[in-house]
Chain A
Amino acid sequence: MAELHGLQLDDRIAAELPDWEAIVAHLRTRRPVAEVLRQAAAGGRPLVQPRCGVGGHREMVELLRALEPAGPGVLSVTIDSHTRLRHFDTAAELLARNPADLNGYPLVAHGWQRGRELAAAVDVPLEVRHGSPDGRELFAVALAAGLTSYEGGGIGYNLPYSKNVPLGHSLRAWQQVDAVCGVLAAEGVLIDRELFGTLTAVLVPPSVSLAVTVLEAVAAAREGVRCLSIAYPQGGEIHQDVAALRAVRTLAARYLDPGIEVHPVLHEFMGVFPRTRSYADLLILHGGLLARLGGATKVISKTHQEAYGIPDAEANADGIRTAALGACELLDFVRIDEDRVSEEQHWIEREVAELVDPVLNEPALLPAIEAAFAAGRLDIPFSASVHAHSRVVPRRDACGAIRYAGVGALPFSAAVLRRHADLLAPAPGARERSPFEAATADIRYFLDNEDRFHSSTPHRTRSEPPQRF
């Protein structure tokens, strides 16, 4: 193990890096993502960022250049899954054999010099998006490449992304990443750290998402991180989603030092996506509007090819424009029922407090997080990892909002439990659904809405029938 300012790294990767002073000196020459975020927040309109990453270097440069004219505020370097899991050799082999087989850009295999070429290829700053339970090597290469925004955290990049990495390991790996950001912040170099509240991306109750990101934010702040983007996944019910985005700021005010910049980020709907272009575009536009109403600094856009796999550049550029249109002035007349949002927000904040306060009251934060997941007092639905109980059962209510049908061992008060039970009470005479039926219908929520729309429209959009796989 080699070390870069407290960041323990694989020797082979560390040996390739420039020295610390050279890394910091280069970072100082870059326009930081934090500055772009600050401008967007001051302007009151979210900036748009797409996900994008392909295996080959030349192809990645072309992709970034193809997306820049669509007007993103930040562009992504989305990393392939082999690199995410630290299978750097596999990523390098595939890169040599057939780069098109990689589902993202293998930055570690390409090396920091090529990372600098990516950053220089476009005027818009870049963020590294991935899904690494232990993203230390990738972070070191990203820093050396001069990239000033890095996604991930010890909970949100572990439980949805790997099978059996202990939380203690991922939390400590990310603690080292955050500590390096703290050192840099003290030297005046601001690294934006985005926290992935999206988790497994399907039917995530807002208070589960926000409890995870609040805990990661507090852990990051203790290491000296000064700029945090806190991401929340669009669930699909607009009052609940606006309330959750607004709660990012109120929770930050409650749990974090006021000197820390906090940016709410909306991840446009991450679940099963509509299959027709028209309805997919509607959902992308709707996400842009939601981001504006919820006061998000940034919105991560989707594309009309989402249902079919990784989009091509043209569809991705269209997605950026459509999301931006949803947040544009023409729709500024749209208001939301503020009473309904306030009520949702009150309950979300209360639920988050019931989840995180017992953990934050423990003397040592990281062991307390680990112990809470081991006991199920913190939990996420549909966990990929064995280190969460996955006993939380989310379900949509009659309005489409995501509620708790089961809470496992989450320590909610009687008032919270009663509210969720009331909201999920079946209509009189309704047929009882099996858990499988309910989960399937809730996951297919926008597909079913799309089918209803297309079958009820008199003129029927026959040119694009809903496709089936």
Chain B
Amino acid sequence: MNTPAGPADRLVILGVAESDAHAVANQLITMQLQSHGFTVLNLGVCTPLSDFADAHDRHPHAEAVLIGSLNGHAHQDLRTLPELRAAGRLRCPVIVGGNLSVGSRKAGTDRQRLLDLGVDHLLADAGGLVLLLDMLHAARAAELQHG
């Protein structure tokens, strides 16, 4: 929805999962990432996974796709990730954050079944997001140097 100016070398694609309309954290994360120098392509709320894939096709240099899900429907909303990956799409770290299942008592299985879909990283709090992106960035740079 908005692509404000920033150093073009660190682009991330951000959005909220398909059945979820929670906009506040999405807008705060945009502000936070921008303040750390990222360019944020924010697809906004209620974004189908195919729209994330389309955005990544258009911006293949994006460092990561960040998907927020606060309504507990993450597994259902991301269920087509294996198909998209099999078709060679979304080949970048997919990071999912928020409240990842229905109910207030969380089980390890809720996390595991998202990882089984192919989600690369799960965050319950946006506080660690910049650190994770920096680590992934550094790892990728090292890979390019030595690999």
**Chain A residues in contact with chain B, CB under 8 A?**
81-82, 85, 87, 90, 94, 100-103, 131, 160-164, 200-202, 305, 308-312, 315, 382-384, 386, 390, 434-436, 439-440, 443, 468-469
8 Å CB contacts to A: which residues of B4-35? 19-24, 27-28, 31-32, 35
Distance A468 CA – B106 CA, assembled complex (angstroms) = 14
CB distance from A271 to the nearest CB of B (A): 8
Are A131 and B35 within 8 A (Cβ)?
A: no
B130 interface residue per 8 A CB criterion? no
From B20, B21, B99, B104, give the contact of A311 (CB < 8 A): B104
**Chain B residues in contact with chain A, CB under 8 A?**
1, 19-24, 27-28, 31-32, 35, 44-47, 71-73, 75-76, 99, 101-106, 124-125
Chain B contacts of A386 at CB under 8 A? 1, 44
Q: Beyond A90-B76, A94-B76, A436-B35, is A312–B21 a contact (Cβ under 8 Å)?
A: no
Chain A contacts of B32 at CB under 8 A? 436
From B21, B31, B124, give the contact of A161 (CB < 8 A): B21
Are A162 and B46 within 8 A (Cβ)?
A: yes
- Of the listed residues B20, B21, B27, B105, the one surrounded by the most CB atoms of chain A closer than 10 A to its CB is B21
Chain B contacts of A434 at CB under 8 A? 35
From B23, B24, B45, B73, give the contact of A101 (CB < 8 A): B73
CB distance from B111 to the nearest CB of A (A): 12
12 A-B pairs with CB atoms under 8 Å apart are: A81-B71, A85-B19, A101-B102, A131-B21, A163-B45, A200-B24, A309-B102, A309-B106, A310-B102, A434-B35, A469-B124, A469-B125
State the main secondary structure of chain A at its contact with B: loop
Are A440 and B104 within 8 A (Cβ)?
A: no
Distance A443 CA – B32 CA, assembled complex (angstroms) = 14
Are B72 and A103 within 8 A (Cβ)?
A: yes
Chain A contacts of B103 at CB under 8 A? 100, 309-310, 312
State the main secondary structure of chain B at its contact with A: loop
From A305, A309, A384, give the contact of B45 (CB < 8 A): A384
Chain A contacts of B35 at CB under 8 A? 434, 436
Q: Beyond A82-B19, A85-B19, is A308–B44 a contact (Cβ under 8 Å)?
A: no
From B24, B47, B101, B125, give the contact of A443 (CB < 8 A): B24
- Nearest CB in chain A to that of B102: its residue: A103
Q: Beyond A90-B76, A101-B75, A384-B44, is A163–B21 a contact (Cβ under 8 Å)?
A: yes
Q: Beyond A162-B45, A309-B99, is A439–B21 a contact (Cβ under 8 Å)?
A: no
Are A310 and B76 within 8 A (Cβ)?
A: no
- Nearest CB in chain B to that of A102: its residue: B102
Contacts A382-B23, A383-B23, A434-B35 aside, 17 further interface pairs with beta carbons under 8 A come to A81-B20, A82-B19, A90-B76, A94-B76, A100-B103, A103-B71, A163-B45, A200-B23, A200-B24, A305-B104, A308-B105, A312-B103, A315-B104, A382-B27, A386-B1, A439-B31, A440-B28
Distance A398 CA – B5 CA, assembled complex (angstroms) = 33
CB distance from A88 to the nearest CB of B (A): 13
Distance A90 CA – B106 CA, assembled complex (angstroms) = 23
From A100, A310, A384, give the contact of B21 (CB < 8 A): A384
Distance A173 CA – B45 CA, assembled complex (angstroms) = 22
Chain A contacts of B23 at CB under 8 A? 160, 200, 382-384
- Nearest CB in chain B to that of A87: its residue: B19
Distance A309 CA – B100 CA, assembled complex (angstroms) = 9
- Nearest CB in chain A to that of B98: its residue: A469
CB distance from A367 to the nearest CB of B (A): 25
Chain B contacts of A384 at CB under 8 A? 21-23, 44-46
Are A162 and B28 within 8 A (Cβ)?
A: no
Chain A contacts of B101 at CB under 8 A? 101, 309
- Can you list the 8 inter-chain pairs with the closest CB atoms, starting with the nearest? A384-B23, A469-B124, A308-B104, A309-B104, A305-B104, A163-B46, A436-B31, A384-B45
CB distance from B72 to the nearest CB of A (A): 5
Chain A contacts of B72 at CB under 8 A? 101, 103, 309-310
CB distance from A385 to the nearest CB of B (A): 8
Distance A39 CA – B80 CA, assembled complex (angstroms) = 51
CB distance from B74 to the nearest CB of A (A): 10
Distance A202 CA – B72 CA, assembled complex (angstroms) = 19
Distance A315 CA – B104 CA, assembled complex (angstroms) = 10
- Nearest CB in chain B to that of A439: its residue: B28
Are B24 and A202 within 8 A (Cβ)?
A: yes
Distance A443 CA – B23 CA, assembled complex (angstroms) = 13
